[in-house]
A = this chain, B = another copy of it.
Amino acid sequence: MLSDFEKAKQEDKSKLNQEIKKLRARLMAQQQLLRAGKLPVLVLIEGWSAAGKGSLIKEIISEMDPRFYQVTSPAVIPESESRYPFLYPFASAIPENGQIVFLDSGWMESAVRKKLRLEITREEYKRRIRMVNEFERQLRDGGYLILKIFLHIGREEQFERLKALSESVDTEWRVTKDDLWQHQEYAQFLKTYDDFMEKTNETVPWHILDGKRKKTAVRDALKLLVAKIDKALEKGRYIGEPFEEKFPLVKMPMLKDVDLSPVISDEEYQKELKKLQSRLSELHNVLYRKKIPVILCYEGWDAAGKGGNIRRVAYPLDPRGVDVHPIASPEPHELNRQFLWRFWTRLPRTGHICIFDRTWYGRVMVERLEGFCTEKDWQRAYNEINEFERQLTDWGAVVMKFWIHIDQDTQLARFTDRQNTPEKQWKITDEDWRNRDKWPQYEVAVDEMLRKTSTENAPWYIIESNDKKYARIKVLRLIVKKLEKACEKSFENSMA
């Protein structure tokens, strides 16, 4: 005979199972609605080693259609990925519209472990918390649903579980040195987890689940997820409000006030070009050794001379350490993700240089003017871009942005020349002429962009390019000067 207590327990269990069954069915149906509504969902499961993160995910997904979710474990970041910024593995792993991504531990574990291992300074830890808040807000504002769960177990429970795993041949490999270290430092971890959650609770709140009561945790996780998705399906895709954070800005002139008359003589051009390119070549070696990443961004009017300018900068560089990314219209898999995703995934490794021929600033120029995104989207983008670039410079990157500038007469002359020269005809399309008609609108957008995104850490440089040769020398000179400073500074740091 069962005691009343045991009976009640059994009833609870069967009730729990039924609840879970219902929730799973609902989640499965939601997958199709998410696909139809093109909503992306990111589920972050953090928690103690041996708390059962993997099993929890398995229970959540067990009835789901595996074609429309992914599970990734970015905790296990390969060595080569440590040559990228802190958020790189997570920013690369975000779902496309209509998909769900489960992260089996993510940015929290990464930041907390590095802090406790003393691999990052207290300052850097604080910065990472800021970056995480920025990252989560940007995703949320871009229409992503995010659910953050922390799976908690006590120290004793962790001990029992690690012991049980270690004692079986089939599972002992699952217990790593890191896990044992965490167990030893349980108190430190507890404090730091608490601290991290407290400081990243605002935009997307944390949910702490009890890892000891497995079934209840599954039910609760499913409940949270299903409710979140239901709410989103009802309300439709969220579009974040623009807001302004104060970044230290460099004051920029209006484009109409830029004097485009500077020229350079052929003789001086040849002399300077040789000198600067040879210096740049030397500097590339130093950058490589010091592992400083460099990101050079080109924007400018059609026919302003971006291509030729880029060629003169790339020429002296070791081709194995430089990538040039021509940025065209996004492809479907790019359009289906937050707008910075296709740039995150193209970042250089430490010590490498990358050159963007057109950039993320398309958001506040062509996408703004052609209506490829909402007004809120491009208005929010100034701040989002400033944050993105600050993350890059905080990582140690040199970020320089060139606006290659000409006047309308010069553009007309070059368009006409392209039209009339067979070898150059590929460079001119109907779209160029259409864009030319929108010069005044573009000028407004560019002026606003220069004003709002020329931060001290990643400033804009307006490059007078009515004389292309003058423009090339000016860019090279700016780059050489900046890189010399970066190499010195990093030298000082390494001596400190």
A102 an interface residue at 8 Å Cβ cutoff? yes
Chain B residues within an 8 Å CB radius of A322: 66, 71
Please name 8 pairs of A and B residues whose Cβ atoms are closer than 8 Å in the assembled complex, sorted by A. A32-B426, A57-B319, A61-B319, A66-B322, A70-B323, A71-B320, A104-B320, A331-B331
Top 8 closest A-B pairs, CB basis? A78-B80, A71-B319, A67-B326, A66-B324, A66-B314, A73-B320, A32-B426, A331-B331
Number of copies: 2
Give chain A interface residues in 62-108, CB to chain B under 8 Å: 62-68, 70-73, 78-80, 102, 104
Bound Cα distance A276, B318 (Å) = 55
Q: A310 contacts which of B57, B67, B79, B426 (Cβ < 8 Å)?
A: B67
Contact A65 B307 (CB under 8 A): yes
A38 an interface residue at 8 Å Cβ cutoff? no
Contact B311 A65 (CB under 8 A): yes
Q: How far is the CB of A153 from chain B (nearest CB, A)?
A: 19
Q: A331 contacts which of B64, B320, B326, B332 (Cβ < 8 Å)?
A: B332
- For A, the interface residue count at a CB cutoff of 8 angstroms equals 49
Residue of B nearest to A313 (CB): B66
Residue of B nearest to A58 (CB): B319
Q: A289 contacts which of B32, B173, B324 (Cβ < 8 Å)?
A: B173
Give chain A interface residues in 281-308, CB to chain B under 8 Å: 282, 285, 289, 307
- Contact flags (1/0) for A303-345 with B, using CB distance below 8 Å? 0000100110011001110111010000111000000000000
Residue of B nearest to A318 (CB): B54
Chain B residues within an 8 Å CB radius of A35: 426
Contact B324 A58 (CB under 8 A): no
A179 an interface residue at 8 Å Cβ cutoff? no
Q: How far is the CB of A224 from chain B (nearest CB, A)?
A: 19
Bound Cα distance A265, B66 (Å) = 26
Q: A54 contacts which of B319, B331, B423 (Cβ < 8 Å)?
A: B319
Chain B residues within an 8 Å CB radius of A6: none
Asked if A355 meets B66 with Cβ closer than 8 Å, knowing A79-B80, A80-B80, A426-B35, the reply is: yes
Chain B residues within an 8 Å CB radius of A187: none
Asked if A318 meets B58 with Cβ closer than 8 Å, knowing A66-B311, A67-B307, A289-B173, the reply is: yes
A357 an interface residue at 8 Å Cβ cutoff? yes
Contact A310 B66 (CB under 8 A): yes
Residue of B nearest to A286 (CB): B170
- Contact flags (1/0) for A418-460 with B, using CB distance below 8 Å? 0000010010000000000000000000000000000000000
Chain B residues within an 8 Å CB radius of A373: none
Chain B residues within an 8 Å CB radius of A79: 78-80
A36 an interface residue at 8 Å Cβ cutoff? yes
Chain B residues within an 8 Å CB radius of A324: 66-67
